[in-house]
Structure 1
Amino acid sequence: MSLASHLEELQRKHGDIEREIDQALAHPSYDDLELARLKRRKLALKDQMEKLRVPTRH
């Protein structure tokens, strides 16, 4: 998998999780633990995307 396609896949997953979070917040009985889990996954994906975008310095 190329770097660009991997980054696109991470962005797609990030967007999917963002929509899940929005849907959970739209329901009055959403699960706080599930929401926290989704937010952690979203942040982890964001961190992965940033690592791919920023060249490492040696």
Structure 2
Amino acid sequence: MNLKSHLDTLKLRHANLESKISAEDRRPRPDDTELTRMKVEKLRLKEEMERLKMS
């Protein structure tokens, strides 16, 4: 997989997590554990994208 397609895949996963986080946040009783897990994963993806852009 080349760098551009890898970045595109990471961006898509990041956007999907953003949607899932928003949906979970709108629920009457959001699952805080799941929200935290998704936010940590989203941050990890963002950091990986930044790292790849620098190389």
User: Does 1:25 pair with 2:28?
Assistant: no
4+ residue stretches of structure 1 with deviation over 2 A?
none
What is the CA deviation profile of residues 25-53 of structure 1, one whole-angstrom value per residue up to 9, with x for unaligned ones?
A: 11111100000000000000001100100
CA distance in 2, matches of 1:27, 1:5: 34
- When Rg is computed on C-alpha atoms for both structures, the one with the higher figure is 1
TM-score, normalised on structure 1?
A: 0.92
Give the aligned partner of residue 41 of structure 1: 41
Separation in structure 2 between the aligned mates of residue 53 and residue 28 of structure 1, nearest angstrom: 38
Task: Tell me how large the CA RMSD over aligned residues is.
Answer: 0.5
Rounded Cα–Cα distance in structure 2 between residues aligned with 1:48 and 1:29: 31
Q: Of Structure 1 and Structure 2, which has the larger fraction of its residues in helix?
A: 2
Question: Which consecutive unaligned segments of at least 5 residues does structure 1 have?
Answer: none
